[in-house]
Chains A and B, each alone.
Chain A
Amino acid sequence: MTYEKLLEQTALEDDRFVVMTAENRALVRNLPQSLGNRFIDTGITEQTMIGAAAGLALRGRKPVVHALSAFLTMRAFEFTRTSVGIANLPVKYSSFIPGVLSDGNGPTHQALEDVSIMRGIPGMEVFAPADEEDLVEMLPYIWATENPSYVRINTKPSIIAHKPYEFGKAEMIFEGSDFTMLTYGFMLENCIKAHQLLSDMGYKVGLVNMRNLKPFDGDLIKSILPKTGRFITVEDHFLTGGLFSILAEFLVKNELHIPVSAIAFEEKWFRPGTLQDVLACEGLTPEKLVERIEKFIQNA
């Protein structure tokens, strides 16, 4: 099942769904034919698309809106916050090329603060599936809610068989007593590979695919905490406002104590290039992740 097929099937079964795009058709190229006037392309107008989505939702629709992540979140932000957010309308955001997936586009297109700004809206739910299998597993639950939601879309093939999704719950992939890596979205694959390398080196390493950023699976964090020595957050997002921040907020609020280390972009954009070059340059390949994690452990 692909993202596009799932969306087509969902919209054909439930006429509340309309598919909208601000002329970003990469994920929905074949839907104009099957959905007819329930496919709406507003042109390069992220603000108008989000405002119109709010209007459609007022009439009982569930618009699934598409645009490049940077523009979907930031160009249209006040429309999202004010027209969708204040009214808590079920507009479903499908955010294309978030994080490092903007590869060669440059900083204009780098959405490294999307989780931070979208989770700041009351009622907005935020998700980051690890790959297309995870995505199609999660989306039916995400689209079923009556809240607005933001999804970091990621359609790469999976390298693992995922567990069934339960709304709001993270996926525990490995348990490990030395430390536990917490990650989401695109970075899961390299974390799995890094986990293998670290295990070969004798570390007992846990790994969690967070799946959700909001709601946050605090229960899982609480259950792991007594059994592991450290959390290491790994994300293709700014340090500010992403998973590291969410975890820190959760730990402080609940008066929980554990060392935490972070791999994220700190006060910088990434060097544009092919995805593999970006990952190598920014220290996000499995080998580089292992080096960075070893430093955390050695410096502890």
Chain B
Amino acid sequence: MNETKLKELEDFALRVRQHIIPMATQGGCFLGASLSAVDLLTYLYVNHLQINQSTLDDPNRDYLFLSKGHDVPALYGIFVELGWIKKERLSNHLSTSDHVYWHPNRHIPGVEFHSGSLGQLPSVSIGVAMDIKIRGGNNRVYCVMGDGELNEGSCWEAFLVAQAYKLDNLTFVIDRNQFQANMATEDLIPLESLVDKFEAFGLQTQRIDGHDFKQLNTAFNQVRDARPQVIICDTVRGKGLPSIEARADRWFCNFSEKEIQELMEELVSGQQANLTAEKLVVR
């Protein structure tokens, strides 16, 4: 990946974060979880997936299923930047007059399927990957999952079936931001060693820095063997905003307008915002 492309991706991801942060007010959104996924989703949509505005319904497109669901502000921001939805729609966040809310739905062009109930889309992804194989297609399926989501048994059931059917056109992408809703994953239901677990389940496994576009580029272009893939992306909850990064209490955020302004400045300057007015919401 050359420096020009790298800069393009970094600038794109910055703009996506600038779309996301203002959604964390007047009802709020899952800000921490959205920011951890921005870079890996930016990489996929800008530099990897075979999909564009004219092929959103093309059966030969690549599919990305956002199983994590509550990080959908990242998708909204990316889709605005790609021109798939108008920026004005983001101001409809949580208005019943539109379909821009806390979880993905198919009223948003580019969203392949509704999610939010964790552990559902690994199996939906399997069905799509199976059908592509039955029809002899070359397109690929990506299922983006949270690390906390891996608590759900249905994920592991799906991994078993994916390897049984040798779905080498299917990649599970884990946003490993180290936190589930209220606490660090390792303090509740420890997941490590994740690499060993996925290898033992018969998946071709890689683990990378999910904020490093060069590592993302290398991992997603690695030669595949006959197994389904998993790419564990080590990320930081709240990435880009040092005042909320890697904190258990910054999963869902509902800030004042003033705090949002300070966070927008923090994103660019690194100068930490004063977040005293925020009423913490536990969900």
Contact = CB atoms under 8 A, between A and B. Distances in A.
Contact of B158 (A51, A59, A82): A51
Classify the secondary structure of A's interface with B: helix
Nearest to B129: A55
A37 interface: yes
Contacts, number: 89
B59 A55 contact: no
A45 B164 CA distance: 12
Contact of A54 (B124, B133, B134, B154): B124
B163 to A, nearest CB: 11
A61 B157 CA distance: 23
Interface of B: 59, 106, 112-114, 117, 120-134, 154, 157-158, 160-161, 164-165
A58 B113 contact: yes
A127 interface: no
Contact of B120 (A18, A53, A58, A83): A83
Contacts of A40: 130, 165
A48 B117 contact: no
A78 B126 CA distance: 17
Contact of B123 (A18, A38, A50, A63): A50
A48 B134 contact: no
B243 to A, nearest CB: 35
A58 B123 contact: no
A52 B134 contact: no
7 contacts: A18-B134, A37-B134, A48-B157, A52-B126, A56-B127, A63-B127, A87-B114
Q: Is the interface of B mostly helix, strand, loop or mixed?
A: helix
Contacts of A45: 157, 160-161
Nearest to A81: B117
Contacts of A60: 59, 131
B123 A48 contact: yes
B117 A51 contact: no
Nearest to B124: A55
- With a 10 A CB-CB cut-off, give which of A45, A54, A55, A59 has the most chain B CB atoms: A55
Contacts of A56: 127-128, 130-131
B134 A51 contact: no
Contacts of B134: 18, 37-38
A42 B161 contact: yes
Contact of A51 (B106, B114, B123, B132): B123
Given A79-B123, A83-B124, A87-B106, A55 B157 contact: no
Interface in A23-81: 37-38, 40, 42-43, 45, 47-61, 63, 78-79
A60 B59 CA distance: 10
Nearest to A48: B123
A52 B113 contact: no
B128 A55 contact: yes
B106 A59 contact: no
Contacts of A50: 123
Given A47-B154, A59-B131, A52 B161 contact: yes
B113 A87 contact: yes
A86 interface: yes
